[in-house]
């Protein structure tokens, strides 16, 4: 069952379709690079099993990148201010771990040569958890998550960050 659960949340779909009106986002994040330039936006929509995250990313280096929800809603370069991954419980980091994944673990995104991509991702976290007193942030890393290494998947530097907030 845990494998099925992890697989269900590991799916990411590249899409360019808008969300239906009844699924209007209830939270959002503007992602900024370390130089302060905007590199994308994310919309968070509550569902019965967590949140759907639609991220529209631009100007990122081509290749695979880890993307995670982090536990603190602060994004000051080099983005260590966002804290650790949002765990949402006692789970370990990683889709490939028996006691994983964290609620903030999201599948890697693969940025094409154009540097622009739109992805839909899912997390079992709730909006109430992400919008708590210290907030949460969406962070993009320089490299891919290996889905095993503790505590953050050996994903490298944090290259972009956005505070998750009500629109």
Question: What are the residue ranges of helices labelled H in the chain?
Answer: 2-10, 127-130
Q: Would 82 be classed as within a structural domain?
A: yes
Written as six digits, the tokens of 155 are 């994903």
Report the CATH number that the domain containing residue 156 is assigned in CATH: 2.60.40.200
The number of folded domains in the chain is 1
Give residue 58's domain range.
2-13+24-164
| Regions of the chain where pLDDT drops below 70 | 1-25
Is the CB of residue 83 less than 8 Å from the CB of residue 69?
no
Q: What is the pLDDT of residues 62-73, one digit of tens each?
A: 999 999 999 999
Rounded to two decimals, the pTM is 0.85
């Amino acid at each position: 069952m845990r494998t099925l659960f992890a697989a269900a949340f590991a799916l990411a779909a590249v899409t360019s379709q808008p969300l239906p009106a009844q699924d209007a986002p209830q939270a959002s994040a503007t992602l900024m690079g370390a130089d302060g330039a905007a590199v994308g936006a994310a919309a968070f929509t509550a569902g019965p099993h967590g949140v759907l995250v639609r991220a529209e990313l631009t100007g990122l280096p081509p290749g695979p990148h880890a993307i995670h929800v982090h536990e603190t809603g602060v994004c000051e370069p080099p983005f260590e201010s966002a804290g650790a991954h949002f765990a949402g419980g006692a789970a370990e980091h990683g889709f490939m771990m028996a006691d994983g994944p964290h609620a903030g673990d999201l599948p890697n995104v693969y940025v094409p040569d154009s540097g622009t991509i739109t992805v839909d991702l899912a997390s079992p976290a709730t909006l109430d958890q992400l919008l708590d007193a210290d907030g949460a942030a969406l962070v993009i890393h320089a490299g891919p998550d290996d889905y095993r290494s503790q505590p953050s998947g050996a994903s490298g530097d944090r290259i972009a960050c956005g505070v998750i907030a009500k629109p």
